[in-house]
C-alpha cells in the first residue's frame, strides 16, 4: 500500500496569511489614527462651544472682558483665542483654537464656536 501524501495546509498558505497581515495592518493603523484624530477634533469643538457659552453668560451678567476671557480660557482647548463683542442689548463671545489631532504630526485643524445672548437688565454697560 502506497502512502498518500495529505494535501493540507503547508508552509505556502502560512506565508500567505503573513503577507495578508502585513498588508492589512498598516491600513488598520491608518483607520485607527483617523478615528483618534476625529475624536480629538470633535472634542476640541465641543470644548469651544462650552467655553463660548460660559463666556457669553458671564458677559451677559456684566463681567468685564478680562474676566470673560479668563473664564473661557479655562474651558477652551489650549491656545484658544477669545473675542468678546456686543452692543447695548446683546453680547457675542467667539472662541477659536487650532488643534493638532495627530500630536506631533504638523497638521493643524481650526475649530471655532460662537455664543450670542441677551444682556441682563442693568448689565448693558459692563462687558463689551
- Asked, for residue 65, whether it belongs to a domain, the answer is yes
Q: Could you report the per-residue pLDDT of 31-70, keeping only the tens digit for each?
A: 999 999 999 999 999 999 999 999 999 999 999 999 999 9
- Asked, for residue 2, whether it belongs to a domain, the answer is no
pLDDT score recorded for residue 17 = 78
- Asked, for residue 125, whether it belongs to a domain, the answer is no
Query: Mutual orientation of helices 65-75 and 11-61 as an angle, nearest 10°?
Result: 160
Give the residue-averaged pLDDT of 6-14: 57
Give the residue-averaged pLDDT of 19-30: 88
Give the helix ranges, DSSP H, for 62-75.
65-75
What is the rounded distance in angstroms from the CA atom of residue 104 to the CA atom of residue 73? 23
Check residue 103 and report its DSSP letter. T
- Asked, for residue 63, whether it belongs to a domain, the answer is yes
Domain span at residue 56?
Answer: 15-118
Overall domain count for the chain: 1
Give the residue-averaged pLDDT of 4-21: 65
The answer to whether residues 91 and 52 touch, using CB atoms and an 8 Å cutoff, is no
pLDDT score recorded for residue 37 = 94
Q: Could you report the per-residue pLDDT of 72-120, keeping only the tens digit for each?
A: 999 999 999 999 999 889 999 999 999 999 888 888 999 999 999 999 9
- Asked, for residue 24, whether it belongs to a domain, the answer is yes
Higher pLDDT, 125 or 117: 117
CA 90 to chain centre: 28
87: cell is 452692543
Q: For residue 127, is pLDDT > 50? A: no
Stated as kind and residue range, the H or E segment containing 94 is strand 90-99
- Asked, for residue 124, whether it belongs to a domain, the answer is no
What is the rounded distance in angstroms from the CA atom of residue 2 to the CA atom of residue 8? 18
pLDDT score recorded for residue 128 = 47
- Asked, for residue 56, whether it belongs to a domain, the answer is yes
For residue 72, the tally of other CB atoms under 10 A from its CB is 28
- Asked, for residue 126, whether it belongs to a domain, the answer is no
The pTM of this model reads: 0.77
Give the residue-averaged pLDDT of 13-29: 82
pLDDT score recorded for residue 20 = 83
Amino acid at each position: 500500500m502506497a502512502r498518500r501524501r495529505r494535501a493540507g495546509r503547508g508552509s505556502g498558505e502560512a506565508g500567505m496569511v503573513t503577507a495578508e497581515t502585513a498588508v492589512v495592518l498598516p491600513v488598520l493603523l491608518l483607520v485607527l489614527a483617523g478615528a483618534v484624530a476625529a475624536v480629538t477634533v470633535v472634542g476640541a469643538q465641543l470644548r469651544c462651544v462650552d467655553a463660548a457659552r460660559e463666556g457669553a453668560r458671564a458677559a451677559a451678567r456684566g463681567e468685564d472682558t478680562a474676566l470673560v476671557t479668563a473664564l473661557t480660557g479655562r474651558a477652551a482647548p489650549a491656545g484658544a483665542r477669545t473675542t468678546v463683542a456686543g452692543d447695548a442689548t446683546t453680547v457675542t463671545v467667539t472662541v477659536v483654537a487650532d488643534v493638532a489631532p495627530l500630536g506631533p504630526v504638523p497638521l493643524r485643524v481650526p475649530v471655532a464656536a460662537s455664543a450670542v445672548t441677551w444682556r441682563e437688565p442693568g448689565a448693558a454697560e459692563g462687558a463689551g
